[in-house]
Amino acid sequence: MTLTYVVNKGIYINLTNRCSNSCEFCIRQYGPTVYGSENLWLEREPTAEEVLADLEKYKLEDYEEIVFCGYGEPTECIDTLIEIAKAIKAKSNIQIRINTNGHGNLINGKDITPMFRGVVDIISVSLNTANAEDYVRICHPEFGEEAYSALIEFAKLSVPNAKKVVLSVVESTLPDEDIAKCDALAKSIGATLRVRPFE
Ligand code: SF4
């Protein structure tokens, strides 16, 4: 199983293939690998011990960050994620980021954002659209229209618990007026908007 892989100066951790969205643009539709990785479909979800053992093959000082991203939604495995992040922070100052769809509180049935404090530096939430209707049409969340307001609330609650919270949209998929709305939304909750390139 591929538990970790490298993208540029980041070590990416593949915790799960579960996801509460079925985005029409999801990279997982196009094959089992990204950025030259091995197959990212997991036979089963790894334990924290297995991931930490796999991380031993890297010299952390050679990298800029560790990213919980995976081939799925990492907050589906929040306890494993936090256990790994705490173990990394206990021995290294390397930056830790979570790339998430922002459904973590819905998935776990509680506010998980206080768990990030002191162990996760950056929370990057895929906002994708400027309104709930477009979000449902493109991302097909299992939580329905509630998912959009919930992900904004998740980002807002993350602000006091992380060093930085980013909302992201994909360049060229939104008109300028929608990007302006997303930017205003990000600012209103203390987050930053990132317009990322289409890959
Ligand atoms: S949230 Fe991410 S992993 Fe989940 S379906 Fe969308 S693009 Fe794929």
Kindly report, residue by residue over 34-57, the tens digit of the pLDDT: 777 788 999 999 999 999 999 999
The tokens 């709930």 sit on which residue?
132
| Whole-number pLDDT of residue 45 | 97
| Whole-number pLDDT of residue 16 | 97
Q: Half-sphere exposure (CA, 13 Å, Cβ side) for 27?
A: 15
Which residue(s) pair with 11 in the sheet?
6, 66
Q: 90 CA distance to ligand 1 centroid (A)?
A: 30
For residue 176, the one-letter residue type is D
| Whole-number pLDDT of residue 75 | 98
The tokens 């951790």 sit on which residue?
13
CB-based contacts of 108: which residues, under 8 Å, 6+ apart?
75, 78
For the domain covering 4-196, report its CATH number: 3.20.20.70
User: How do residues 103-130 score in pLDDT, each as one tens digit?
Assistant: 999 999 999 999 999 999 999 999 999 9
Q: Tokens for 155, please give them.
A: 């980002």
CA angle in degrees (0–180, nearest 5) for 26-95-16 = 35
C-alpha–C-alpha distance, residues 21 and 30, integer Å: 16
CB 64 within 8 A of CB 40: no
CB-based contacts of 150: which residues, under 8 Å, 6+ apart?
102, 103, 105, 106, 143
Asked if residue 73 has its Cβ within 6 Å of ligand 1, the reply is yes
Helix (H, G, I), strand (E, B), or coil: what is residue 183?
helix
With the most atoms of ligand 1 within 8 angstroms of its CB, the residue from 73, 98, 126, 129 to mutate is 73
Asked if residue 76 has its Cβ within 6 Å of ligand 1, the reply is no
